[in-house]
Amino acid sequence: MILGAVATAIKDEIASLNVEDRAPGMTALALSLARAVDSSAKAPTAKAVAARELRAVMKELRALAPIGEEGDVVDDIARQREKRRAEARSRRSG
């Protein structure tokens, strides 16, 4: 089955969120709604309803996503702090 642009983007986001095992029903619902958005070109009201519901489901899926172990703001601050400490140690010893 060929996915449209919305369904492809939602599938990719779900994969990056790593929530398929936590909420398989919600992920299936999100993909179904995304396909409905892609396929309802001639029914703008249906498309709007599907898009609204898709946004709600994706909000819940994003909330279920595990917190990343690396790459967030706290990790960036910790790396910067460690870099400054290493520079200070280097200046003291040399």
- Compute CA distances 45 → 37, 54, 69, whole Å: 10, 14, 41
CA dihedral 23→69→16→50, nearest 10 degrees, is 50
- Averaged pLDDT, 76-88: 87
DSSP conformation class of 72: S
Q: Could you give the CA distance from residue 30 to residue 24 in angstroms, rounded to a whole number?
A: 10
Assign residue 21 a region: left if phi > 0, alpha if psi is -120 to 50, beta otherwise? alpha
Q: To which residue do tokens 């309803």 refer?
A: 49
Query: Mean pLDDT across the chain, nearest whole number?
Result: 89
The predicted-structure confidence for 14-49, as pLDDT tens digits, reads as follows 999 999 999 999 999 999 999 999 998 788 999 999
Per-residue model confidence (pLDDT) at position 90: 86
Instruction: Read off the tokens for 45.
Output: 């009201």
- Averaged pLDDT, 60-82: 81
